[in-house]
Amino acid sequence: MSPPVAPPGWSRWLVPPAALAVHLSIGQAYAWSVFKPPLESALDLSGTQSALPFQLGIVMLGLSAAFGGTLVERRGPRWAMTVALICFSSGFLLSALGAATEQYWLIVFGYGFVGGIGLGIGYISPVSTLIKWFPDRPGMATGIAIMGFGGGALIASPWSAQMLESFGADNVGIAYAFLVHGLTYALFMSLGVLLVRVPPSVRPAADAPAVTAGPQVSARSAVRTPQFWLLWIVLCMNVTAGIGILEKAAPMITDFFADSSAPVSATAAAGFVALLSAANMAGRIGWSTTSDLIGRKNIYRVYLGVGALMYALIWSLGDSSKPLFVLAALVILSFYGGGFATVPAYLKDLFGTYQVGAIHGRLLTAWSTAGVLGPLIVNWVADRQEEAGKHGPSLYGVSLVVMIGLLAVGFVANELVRPVHPRHHEPAAETPAATSKEAADDRREQPESA
């Protein structure tokens, strides 16, 4: 399947909906928790067992994005979206079979392994194409797509719950729900497959920035630069700090104000979690678009610097002000989302558009690491504090200080980012041609002279 080139008159505003069709679908992964209680009762599973499909899915997301990125660049976005559609939908269909026959391993394999490949390939599939269509506003373009990943959970969560209510929460009901999910997502994602086009290589207008202007660095060369690893640290620290709040949001707000004059009910805590999701989504499009105006380095200064200040504010205020606590948490979560959405544009600034999708795929290993690190830190610290007999805001004091420290590390890493040394740049004649990538990569394998 060769990359589909846009015919004359094709609008670039058709590309974001194509990306959204994929990202809104695969974002369902974050609504997996809806299936956990019915699976536990229908198949007699523990909480740890019922989380396995999601965990394997996230691991596969990281692995397939990291290792499949170069293939996605070579084969193009339509191929990648087709693979994502087949894998993601097949994952649900296999899970339906697993639920119907009470074979839980089939659900783990289907949703986690097969579906997880769809998550990773789908996540990176539109990034490179969007950046090429919107060289003047790469932050906004990738922000739209990556906002869709956040939006996917918002759609799937109530939709899946309603479906389970209609079909029943026994294994047959779950099987029907999985079946409908697989078929619906296949149909929904097909819009992305049909719509996506790569821009023509010859630029039609003289007033626009050239697609291949600036440094062009291959994925293989990029991972050998300090810039890649500094950005890896930046993303990892920003995500870890965000997950620190997201992971414990409901118990955190309840514990914080437990001894105050206005304790927070379980219903209000659920509302707080929903509000954080909204901030996460708004940050993806809002901050990423802002980065087109103020620059990538500056926006990460805000995410990491102001983020640390917000954590410090929560720590210093304790239970004295609920509105300020909520406001600071919302700002932190908006930075968490913004960090995800802005990073492809940051990569484009540093490494060019040549293999930006593949480089982005490799960078997502920082996300996988943060996904383990964030919850581990917050839960471990909170458990130790509880054992020490602490309560209220003091339960989270150490966690908050750790998060401030992590953000400070990220801030320093961002400050150290400099333009990539020209020795890593691709020869100008080779960058636009996809067919020369393998040859270029082979040459990069040779030891560098400087």
Residues that bind another protein (CB under 8 A): 6-14, 17-18, 20-21, 24, 132-136, 148, 151, 154-155, 157-159, 188, 191, 195, 197, 199-200, 203-205, 207-209, 211, 265-272, 274-275, 277-278, 326
Distance, in Å, from the CA atom of 327 to the CA atom of 392, rounded to the nearest integer, reads: 19
Residue 348's nearest CA partner among 298, 419, 299 is: 419
Between residues 271 and 405, which has the closer beta carbon with respect to another protein?
271
Residue 312's nearest CA partner among 428, 397, 369 is: 397
Between residues 231 and 269, which has the closer beta carbon with respect to another protein?
269
Distance, in Å, from the CA atom of 106 to the CA atom of 98, rounded to the nearest integer, reads: 5
Distance, in Å, from the CA atom of 142 to the CA atom of 154, rounded to the nearest integer, reads: 19
Min separation Cβ 307 and another protein, Å: 22
Min separation Cβ 221 and another protein, Å: 25
3-class DSSP assignment, residue 267? helix
Between residues 21 and 119, which has the closer beta carbon with respect to another protein?
21
Scanning the structure block, which residue is given the tokens 């020209």? Answer: 422
Min separation Cβ 42 and another protein, Å: 25
Which helix (H) or strand (E) segment is 66 a member of?
A: helix 47-75
Distance, in Å, from the CA atom of 72 to the CA atom of 62, rounded to the nearest integer, reads: 14
Between residues 148 and 357, which has the closer beta carbon with respect to another protein?
148
Min separation Cβ 405 and another protein, Å: 29
Min separation Cβ 232 and another protein, Å: 29
Min separation Cβ 189 and another protein, Å: 11
Min separation Cβ 11 and another protein, Å: 4
Do the Cβ atoms of 78 and 3 come closer than 8 Å? yes
Between residues 208 and 376, which has the closer beta carbon with respect to another protein?
208
Between residues 21 and 239, which has the closer beta carbon with respect to another protein?
21
The separation between CA 193 and the C-alpha centre of its own chain, rounded to angstroms, equals 20
Residue 185, C-beta contacts closer than 8 angstroms, at least 6 positions apart: 25, 28, 85, 88, 89, 92
Distance, in Å, from the CA atom of 26 to the CA atom of 88, rounded to the nearest integer, reads: 7
Between residues 11 and 435, which has the closer beta carbon with respect to another protein?
11
Residue 10's nearest CA partner among 280, 218, 196, 288 is: 196
